[in-house]
Amino acid sequence: MTDHPSTFQGSTTQSGEAAWDDRARIVSADQSGKLDGGGIPLLRGTFAEMIRHMAQLPEDDRAGYVIEKAGDRAYSAEEAMALASRPDFPPEGTG
């Protein structure tokens, strides 16, 4: 998902790994991108925690929220569910 700059020889390396421990927050979809950083967060934690929380919401309610990942972008509920089903998604209690 992200390419992390390397300090060795100053080049960007392709990690191929999702940054599950990055800081993230859930905001209302209609507030995303507003108020200098996405409105009022409803919940904060790691990216993996926010995906798990989104997965626990009733399916009809998910579309009303987005996950904003620090230094990255906003992820829709549909994208969050796709990430939750990845084989490298960390189990509960990690990430």
The pLDDT tens digits for 31-60 are 766 545 556 788 999 999 999 999 999 999
Higher pLDDT pick, 48 / 92: 48
Domain ranges of the chain: 21-84
Cα–Cα distance, 50 to 66 (Å, whole number): 10
Query: Hey, what are 71's tokens?
Result: 């230094």
